[in-house]
């Protein structure tokens, strides 16, 4: 069954969630936003409006619902989809005739539009267009208000006569002062364009009339409006709706299309999914739908890629994007053309006066590797006219500072060079290597988070061994010099705490005689029925910290969300190893559901990375790390782009912020403590 409003058709869809296209008037998954009332009230008051934003944000669905509400208030409405009029090979007369014929049909006017148009050949097309609206549409003894919705206005930007069209709309608005009849006519423009795009000729006055209606993502603070989405999931998976939706929101940040797409996918898995959804299983669906190189890109991703590739200012856009990518957020300049264009592409959004990457899905896909692979020219010098001095400074600075690897500040660079030229450096490396090998042989590896099954294991590189051993005598990393005098290294400072010049102080060795702080009770003690690997995450493919031998005891601290893994703590040679081990390897008669769900505590470095004092590359550099190193995770930045971590290196503990996408962290970043 279909319904029609204006010339836009939509179908009653028995499926609760709808991914793509215009949602029907009776669609149960339509989410009401502040824009719904803002647009309705403005149009009802006769104000010109425009909803200009990226694709698949819900513009057309908003338009259809607003038109229906206005109709119920006695306003005559017409919806013009400009893509149906056409642009290729269309003459100016054909284009205007197509526009006016659509208005005639939807407003049910009794008139031969073609004859009317041809009878006035002496007038210009734009004059005939204006006269038609004034003399035909706004005529009668009692004229009712008329609202004309013009969708897909960006399709006109390639026309050489579009400036005249938008100038005519502006002229009708300005004519209200002398021709009150135009008070009864309002326009609502919708599309992927900025107001400055609508008038291409810089010699003409910009399109500067109308009220802007923003269309932001779904907001968690308006949870009552999102309850219907949660309920749609709850109806299919009782007891799981809210939890599943929260994980979906974690990935989409409320992007309308991506949220509907993921919800629909989860619901469609009903026939094969009989157990509870875990975060990792939802993440796997995200991987399959959006991140996998094996699958054809989702239409949403393809649209963004095409938009970037074809954009005349793609180098400037990508320089700006990379700045946001590295910084996490930057101040949004509403007067900047480049800022506006990047928002229209859809990669970023405005949030509390800042530009941020729209969601985690985009951040995962559109990383530095993607830009280098698909748009190599971004690495070259660019020359472009910008709308603000700040933009010019941004583009020139990002060319050498953001796109290339940021060099270490002089103090760190100097220290590194001096240290490597000292005679004792080779001896230092030899001692560190011996200490690491000894530690490896006695399996003193600490652990953190994860989730899946026993199997193919990845061992921690020996260079990171000392950084992850948990000492029971002190919660912080502890080391002793050859004199066996222990020195505790605090972990709550932003700058390194030196324990002596590396070339003068011998490397630390692990303390092997601490007093255990574990207080086991019969309820939380388990016995290993067979040897069990202990992993950083509840996933056998994650980094392995150590092994608990058969017939050895451990303390159960918690479990993974899917109940496949215990989070245990066990003592070995005076050191405590902590991490995830498969439930199947232990004898335990307790109720696993009574155990708390444990989030991963550690992250594996997967790319060269720096730790900064703040969640920004513009703050002071604390230290650098290499792939294979281990960070202890203590929190996150406000926008979830940075993790607040502690890193043990050369008998010192460094604390600060590291970019999250260069770390393999299996936990839910959004639930970590927010750090300033």
Q: Which residue has 């403590």 as its token pair?
A: 673
Q: What percent of the chain has pLDDT over 70?
A: 74
Lowest mean per-residue pLDDT among 59-68, 134-143, 177-186, 483-492:
483-492
User: What 3-state class would DSSP assign to 419?
Assistant: helix
Q: Is the pLDDT of residue 107 over 90?
A: yes
Contact 233, 14 (CB under 8 A): no
Highest averaged pLDDT of the listed ranges 10-24, 346-360, 458-472, 546-560: 346-360
pLDDT in tens, 281-291: 999 999 999 98
Query: What's the whole-number mean pLDDT along residues 139-160?
Result: 90
Q: Which residue has 């993502």 as its token pair?
A: 217
Angstrom distance (rounded) from CA 2 to CA 26: 11
Predicted confidence band of residue 11 (pLDDT cuts 50, 70, 90): very low
Query: What's the whole-number mean pLDDT along residues 532-555?
Result: 84
Question: Could you give the angle at which helices 299-310 and 337-345 cross, rounded to 10 degrees?
Answer: 150
Highest averaged pLDDT of the listed ranges 2-11, 477-486, 621-630: 621-630
pLDDT value at residue 50: 94
Q: Which residue has 């207080």 as its token pair?
A: 519
Beta-bridge partners for 597: 559
Predicted confidence band of residue 451 (pLDDT cuts 50, 70, 90): very low
pLDDT in tens, 492-511: 333 343 333 333 333 333 33
Query: What's the whole-number mean pLDDT along residues 458-474?
Result: 35
Q: Is the pLDDT of residue 455 over 50?
A: no
- CA angle at 366 for the pair 363 and 372, rounded to the nearest 5°: 140
Neighbour tally for 1: CB within 10 Å = 5
Q: Quick one: tokens of 379? A: 């690495």
Residues 6 or more apart whose Cβ sits within 8 Å of residue 483? none
pLDDT in tens, 223-253: 667 899 999 999 999 999 999 999 999 999 9
Angstrom distance (rounded) from CA 540 to CA 565: 10
Instruction: Name the residue with higher pLDDT: 318 or 467.
Output: 318
Q: Which of 579, 553, 577, 576 has its CA nearest to residue 566?
A: 579
pLDDT value at residue 69: 96
Contact 552, 528 (CB under 8 A): yes
Share the mean pLDDT of the chain.
Answer: 77
pLDDT value at residue 533: 87
Neighbour tally for 497: CB within 10 Å = 15
User: What 3-state class would DSSP assign to 415?
Assistant: helix
Q: Is the pLDDT of residue 522 over 90?
A: no
Predicted confidence band of residue 159 (pLDDT cuts 50, 70, 90): confident
pLDDT value at residue 434: 55
Neighbour tally for 177: CB within 10 Å = 9
Angstrom distance (rounded) from CA 381 to CA 395: 10
The predicted model scores a pTM of: 0.59
Instruction: Name the residue with higher pLDDT: 46 or 293.
Output: 46
What DSSP designation does 458 have?
A: E
Query: What's the whole-number mean pLDDT along residues 38-44?
Result: 97
The three state secondary structure string of 37-83 is: HHHHHHHHCCCCEEEECCCCCCHHHHHHHHHHHHHHCCCEEEEEEHH
pLDDT value at residue 573: 65
Predicted confidence band of residue 120 (pLDDT cuts 50, 70, 90): very high
Query: What's the whole-number mean pLDDT along residues 323-333?
Result: 91
Angstrom distance (rounded) from CA 185 to CA 209: 14
What string of DSSP letters covers 378-412?
GGS------SSHHHHHHHHHHHHHTSSPPPPPHHH
Residues 6 or more apart whose Cβ sits within 8 Å of residue 488? 474, 476, 478
User: What 3-state class would DSSP assign to 575?
Assistant: strand
Predicted confidence band of residue 435 (pLDDT cuts 50, 70, 90): low
Strand 565-572 relative to strand 575-582, pairing: antiparallel
What string of DSSP letters covers 95-150?
HHHHHHHHHHHHTT--S-HHHHHHTTTTS-HHHHHHHHIIIIIT-SSSPPPEEEEE
pLDDT value at residue 285: 93
pLDDT value at residue 62: 96
């Amino acid at each position: 069954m279909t319904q029609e409003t204006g010339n836009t058709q939509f179908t009653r869809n028995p499926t609760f969630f709808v991914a793509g296209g215009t949602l029907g008037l009776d669609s149960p998954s339509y989410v009401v936003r502040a824009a719904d009332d803002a647009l309705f009230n403005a149009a009802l008051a006769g104000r010109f409006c425009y909803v200009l934003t990226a694709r698949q944000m819900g513009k057309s669905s908003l338009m259809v619902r607003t038109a229906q509400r206005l109709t119920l208030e006695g306003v005559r409405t017409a919806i013009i989809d400009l893509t149906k009029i056409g642009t290729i090979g269309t003459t100016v007369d054909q284009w205007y005739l197509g526009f006016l014929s659509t208005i005639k049909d939807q407003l049910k006017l009794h008139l031969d539009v073609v004859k009317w148009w041809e009878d006035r050949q002496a007038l210009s097309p734009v004059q005939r267009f204006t006269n038609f609206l004034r003399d035909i549409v706004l005529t009668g003894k009692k004229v009712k208000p008329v609202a004309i919705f013009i969708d897909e206005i960006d399709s006109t930007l390639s026309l050489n006569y579009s400036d005249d069209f938008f100038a005519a709309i502006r002229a009708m608005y300005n004519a209200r002062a002398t021709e009150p009849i135009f008070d009864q006519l309002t326009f609502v423009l919708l599309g992927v364009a900025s107001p400055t795009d609508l008038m291409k000729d810089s010699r003409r006055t910009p399109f500067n009339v109308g009220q802007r209606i923003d269309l932001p993502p779904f907001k968690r603070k308006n949870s009552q409006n999102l309850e219907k989405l949660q309920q749609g999931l709850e109806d299919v998976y009782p007891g799981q709706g809210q939890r599943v939706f929260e994980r979906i929101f974690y990935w989409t940040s409320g992007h309308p299309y991506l949220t509907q797409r993921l919800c629909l996918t989860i619901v469609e898995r009903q026939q094969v999914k009989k157990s509870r959804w875990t975060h990792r299983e939802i993440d796997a669906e995200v991987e399959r739908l959006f991140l996998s190189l094996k699958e054809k890109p989702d239409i949403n991703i393809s649209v963004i890629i095409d938009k970037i590739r074809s954009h005349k200012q793609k180098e400037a856009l990508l320089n700006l994007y990379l700045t946001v990518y590295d910084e996490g957020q930057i101040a949004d300049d509403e007067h900047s053309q480049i800022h506006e264009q990047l928002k229209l592409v859809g990669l970023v959004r405005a949030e509390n006066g800042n530009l941020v990457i729209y969601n985690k899905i985009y951040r995962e896909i559109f990383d530095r590797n993607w830009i280098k692979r698909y748009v190599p020219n971004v690495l070259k010098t660019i020359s472009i006219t910008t709308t603000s001095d700040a933009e010019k400074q941004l583009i020139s600075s990002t060319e050498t500072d953001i796109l290339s690897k940021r060099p270490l500040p002089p103090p760190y660079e100097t220290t590194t060079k001096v240290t490597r030229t000292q005679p004792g450096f080779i001896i230092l490396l030899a001692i560190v290597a011996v200490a690491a090998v000894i530690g490896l042989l006695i399996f003193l590896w600490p652990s953190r988070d994860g989730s899946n099954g026993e199997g193919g294991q990845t061992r921690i590189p020996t260079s990171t061994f000392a950084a992850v051993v948990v000492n029971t005598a002190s919660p912080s990393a502890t080391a002793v010099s050859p004199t066996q005098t222990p020195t505790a290294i605090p972990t709550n400072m932003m700058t390194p705490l030196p324990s002596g010049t590396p070339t003068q102080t011998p490397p630390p060795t692990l303390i092997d005689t601490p007093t255990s702080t574990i207080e086991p009770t019969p309820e939380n003690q388990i016995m290993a029925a067979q040897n069990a690997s202990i992993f950083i995450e509840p996933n056998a493919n994650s980094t392995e910290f150590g092994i608990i031998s058969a017939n050895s005891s451990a303390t159960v601290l918690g479990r993974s969300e899917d109940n496949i893994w215990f989070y245990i703590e066990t003592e070995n040679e005076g050191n405590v190893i902590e991490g995830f081990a498969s439930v199947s390897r232990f004898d335990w008669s307790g109720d696993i559901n009574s155990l708390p769900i444990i989030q991963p505590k550690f992250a594996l470095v997967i790319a060269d990375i720096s730790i900064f004092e703040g969640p920004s590359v513009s703050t002071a550099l604390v230290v650098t790390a290499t792939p294979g190193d281990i960070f202890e995770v203590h929190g996150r930045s406000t926008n979830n782009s940075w993790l607040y971590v502690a890193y043990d290196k050369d008998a010192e503990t460094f604390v600060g912020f590291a970019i999250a996408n260069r770390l393999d962290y299996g936990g839910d970043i959004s639930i970590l403590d927010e750090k300033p």
